[in-house]
A and B are shown apart, each in its own frame.
Chain A
């Protein structure tokens, strides 16, 4: 299988600012690549270059084997784009929005209308089809925007932070929709600030910071690099700390970290909840009732702490 999306030493500068620098990407057909990073990392600029919206200042990129800078019109026929700020017309109804997009893809009147109705049904917007989009909730707007990206069933789809700003329920709904899209065989590039989202949806992840790729690999590999999950226990009595540390040493895979001030102990684990259950039994046997006990999953902050030694701060500006 070939690569549906290719970027080679791709770069974009705005004056002195390097929004994206020497970025290499290769997304095989039918797979999902996640660009993971905080605000200002260059994710949106990358998507805008790949979708013909921004001209790169260096390097080259190709979508479905077609050079993006040389033949933007041919690329536009093959891609669907759903942006960070839903590209939906507020005054048009959901149906009118989708019908308009179909017409602009030159599907013709009949096919555009049929497609609009199909997509509204698939994205559970049929009830709201004839209401202006400005009356939609955030989740509904995102779904409508995503539907707009899928009007011609494009082989390559770009989703820029599809769930940023959505409430947890809408986020789950969006994940289901994206999951179905992947099952149908589309090649997908999505950007996200959430490690959990990348973990759940992507085959491969590229971590970006300050316009550069600072790490890449599968979610499992990145997590392994981070040391994966940790079991953390806090106790009420300072004398119990040593016993708790002893228990965690037994269930964990490495030396526990002990913080006497907060009376908390944590240790890397590789058995998930099985380690938690064992720890609870052993603590109980030692007559210790912890004030807190939890499994901590690595977050984007942990990724950045590990990779750069700095938390993932909002760097603002370039996006």
Chain B
């Protein structure tokens, strides 16, 4: 139990250190906010008229998709931050201290989560401006945001493994994000899965991104009518599928990144 308490307290010390960096170098935060705003505006006004979403305004349909895409990309920052720390001497300092071995990772994923919360707040305001609303009450609204952050946090740990596996910050900058394009586009985030070719449809329906997006649409009352939301188990129980995905991701990638951190830093 003390090991866990140490990991939490050391993790918080590292989190604070990372947040100070965001405060003194706000560029990263600003750019990670501009990108999703750009996506909202481009999709809402360029594709908005061309994509059919029966029973719901496309902008309402779009926002949960953009939210999920945003936290996924926000998690990509974890890879850059870790690669940066490893390249500099600071990890040597950390490793020579009697601190928890998990603290650097806990601190990094926690500060990236806080970063994500900030970006989501800005996104919500943008969404409200273009006409998106939460229709089904306060608590369902809160539940949606909690699921969104849980998913972002889980994605951070995948990103951590990438950051610990690459050799430089430059590689982390592309390796941390490139896989997210197929992941987020091969989903229901921007178009209803019913419009996809038969081969891609099951892939998109079981995609973790789709489960989270669909859960948000259900929770917030942004879902299209009928089969446009998909079919079968992923469409009927997206919340359970989404939570299951997050737990699975954490179970696999938390131990994997801790092992990698130990190895990456002991060469």
Interface residues of A (CB under 8 A from B): 51-55, 73, 76-77, 79, 81, 83, 85-92, 96, 100-101, 103-106, 132, 148
Contacts and interface: CB of A to CB of B under 8 A. Distances in A.
Contact of B92 (A87, A96, A105, A106): A87
Contact of A52 (B16, B21, B95, B99): B95
Nearest to B265: A53
B90 A87 contact: yes
Interface string B5-26: 0100110010011001100110
Given A54-B267, A91-B20, A106 B93 contact: no
Contact of B89 (A55, A77, A85): A85
Given A54-B266, A104-B10, A87 B98 contact: no
B93 A81 contact: yes
A76 B97 contact: yes
Q: Which 5 pairs across A and B sit closest by C-beta, in order of nearness?
A: A87-B93, A87-B89, A76-B98, A91-B21, A81-B96
A101 B92 contact: no
Given A83-B92, A91-B21, A132-B24, 7 more contacts: A52-B95, A53-B265, A79-B96, A103-B9, A104-B103, A105-B98, A106-B98
Nearest to A134: B24
Nearest to B95: A53
B233 interface: no
Contact of A101 (B6, B89, B97, B267): B97
A194 B25 CA distance: 38
A79 B92 CA distance: 13
A55 B96 contact: no
Using C-beta atoms within 8 Å of the partner chain, give the interface range for chain B: 20 to 34
Contacts of B103: 104
B95 to A, nearest CB: 6
Contacts of A85: 88-89
A255 B94 CA distance: 56
B206 to A, nearest CB: 41
Interface string B87-114: 0111011111111000100000000000
A132 B93 CA distance: 18
A267 to B, nearest CB: 46
A186 to B, nearest CB: 16
A24 B94 CA distance: 27
Contacts of B98: 73, 76-77, 104-106
B230 to A, nearest CB: 45
Main SS of chain A's interface residues?
loop
Contacts of A103: 9-10, 13
Given A81-B96, A83-B89, A106 B6 contact: yes
B89 to A, nearest CB: 4
A314 to B, nearest CB: 21
Given A91-B20, A92-B20, A96-B20, A104 B97 contact: yes
17 contacts: A51-B96, A54-B267, A73-B98, A76-B97, A81-B93, A83-B93, A85-B88, A87-B92, A88-B90, A90-B88, A91-B21, A92-B20, A96-B17, A101-B97, A104-B97, A105-B98, A105-B99
Contact of A86 (B13, B89, B265): B89
Contact of A89 (B17, B92, B95, B99): B17
Contacts of B94: 104
Contacts of A106: 6, 9, 98-99
Contacts of B25: 91
A24 to B, nearest CB: 23
Contacts of B20: 91-92, 96
Contacts of A86: 89
Contacts of A54: 266-267
Contacts of A88: 89-90, 93
A191 to B, nearest CB: 15
Nearest to A51: B96
A103 B21 CA distance: 18
A112 B198 CA distance: 62
Given A53-B265, A54-B267, A92 B17 contact: yes
Given A53-B265, A91-B21, A105 B96 contact: no
Q: Considering residues A73, A77, A103, which has the most beta carbons from chain B within 10 angstroms of its beta carbon? A: A103
B17 A53 contact: no
A104 B95 CA distance: 10
Interface in B93-144: 93-99, 103
Nearest to A74: B98
